[in-house]
């Protein structure tokens, strides 16, 4: 089962980290942008090629110590279809290097249309033979539309050995505006969403006790993580908010069970831009990313 594969990679590398590939242009070293723009022009194609070079450098440097990458679809869409092509090429490269790929798309729609998203990101398209539109082991999704927006994903996940992560409690400052409101049944909206994840997960059981339906739970709300870990014993967590957004290793530790599993912690900017913080030669951006990933791994492992 797909979430089992992720957990096994985490155990093997002794590292519950996923690197967010959110390549804002300002994060990319100048020497890469200069090369890409001089070869392809100062346009969306050039920018997309810079992103691809940057991502490949990061993946080369990280794939033997970090189990997973999480490309954020928005930053690829921002560069138009050339950017979306680079999303695919990045996924393909990470896949070849053996990394688990979580496409952060937060997709959501009604049943018939969700089938199309599920096929696009986790399945294949039949035209004489099977074609892949994108490549991922997992997709983040938004459950506001209820079960028939999720079922098509479960079907595809079963067939192709994939997983999903449903937004439960997000890491941003205003996440509570809707998510924290109390329902008449005594649960908050995010707790209700968590409960739905546990229910959906029953269709994708895993051997470590965690189903193929994970939950996105922001580390910036450590109290809520603690409660959710108790309420959702069968749900694996994808945890944004560590580092740049302010959460500590102690905060994220609350997402883990007594065996030290239960979640994977995202770091995007701190790893992508480690060369800026280190003030090293920007040519060494990938080395700096690796040093930060090792530092983070150590910090996380100490706190679990």
CB atoms within 10 A of CB 214: 28
Note every long-range contact of 170-175, with CB atoms under 8 Å and residues 24 or more positions apart, other chains counting. Answer: 170/216, 170/218, 170/240, 171/218, 171/219, 171/220, 171/221, 171/240, 171/241, 171/245, 171/247, 172/218, 172/220, 175/218, 175/221
Rank residues 7 and 189 by Cβ distance to a copy of itself and give the closer one. 189
- When asked if residue 106 is in the footprint of a copy of itself (CB under 8 A), the reply is yes
> Is 12 one of the binding residues for a copy of itself (CB under 8 A)?
no
Instruction: Give yes or no for a contact between 207 and 3, defined as CB atoms under 8 angstroms apart.
Output: no
Residues between 40 and 69 that touch a copy of itself (CB under 8 A) = 42-44, 46-47
Which positions from 242 through 301 interact with a copy of itself, judged by CB under 8 A?
none
Closer of 5 and 95 to a copy of itself (Cβ): 95
The three-class DSSP label of residue 225 is helix
Tell me whether residue 31 or residue 88 sits nearer to a copy of itself (CB atom).
Answer: 88
Q: Which of 24, 85, 106, 195 is catalytic?
A: 106
Q: Which of 272, 258, 199 is nearest to 229 (CA)?
A: 258
Catalytic annotation on 106?
Answer: yes
Contacts of 61 (CB under 8 A, 6+ apart): 286, 287, 289, 290
Binding flags for a copy of itself, 74-93, as an x/- string (CB under 8 A): xx-xxxxx-xxx-xx-----
- Measured from the CB of residue 32, what is the shortest distance to a copy of itself in angstroms? 14
Establish if 196 lies at the interface with a copy of itself (CB under 8 A). Answer: yes
Cβ-in-10-Å burial (0-12, 13-18, 19+) of 182 comes to exposed
User: Is 226 one of the binding residues for a copy of itself (CB under 8 A)?
Assistant: no
Residues lying near a copy of itself in the complex (CB under 8 A) = 22, 24, 42-44, 46-47, 72, 74-75, 77-81, 83-85, 87-88, 106-111, 113-114, 116-117, 119-121, 125, 127-128, 131-134, 142-149, 167, 170-179, 181-185, 189, 192-193, 196, 240
């Amino acid at each position: 089962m797909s979430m089992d594969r992720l957990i096994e990679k985490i155990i093997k590398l002794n590292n519950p980290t996923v690197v967010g590939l959110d390549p804002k242009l300002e994060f990319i070293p100048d020497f890469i942008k200069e090369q890409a723009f001089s070869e392809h022009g100062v346009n969306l194609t050039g920018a997309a090629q810079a992103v691809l070079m940057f991502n490949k450098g990061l993946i080369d440097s990280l794939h033997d110590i970090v189990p997973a990458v999480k490309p954020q679809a928005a930053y690829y869409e921002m560069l138009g279809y050339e950017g979306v092509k680079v999303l695919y090429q990045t996924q393909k490269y990470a896949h070849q290097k053996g990394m688990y790929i979580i496409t952060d798309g937060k997709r959501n729609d009604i049943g018939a249309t969700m089938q199309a998203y599920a096929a696009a990101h986790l399945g294949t398209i039949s035209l004489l033979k099977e074609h892949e539109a994108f490549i991922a082991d997992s997709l983040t999704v938004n459950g506001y539309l209820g079960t028939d927006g999720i079922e098509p994903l479960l079907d595809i996940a079963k067939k192709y050995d994939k997983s999903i992560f449903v937004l439960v409690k997000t890491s941003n400052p205003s996440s509570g505006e809707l998510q924290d409101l109390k329902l008449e049944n005594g649960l908050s909206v995010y707790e209700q969403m968590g409960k739905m994840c546990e229910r959906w997960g029953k269709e994708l059981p895993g051997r470590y006790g965690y189903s193929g339906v994970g939950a996105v739970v922001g580390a910036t709300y450590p109290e809520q993580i603690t409660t959710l870990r108790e309420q959702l014993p069968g749900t694996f967590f994808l945890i944004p908010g560590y580092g740049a957004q302010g959460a500590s290793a102690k905060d994220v530790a609350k997402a883990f069970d007594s065996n030290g599993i239960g979640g994977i912690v995202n770091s995007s900017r701190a790893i992508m831009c480690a060369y800026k913080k280190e003030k090293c030669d920007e040519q060494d951006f990938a080395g700096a990313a690796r040093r930060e990933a090792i530092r983070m791994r150590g910090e996380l492992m100490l706190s679990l």
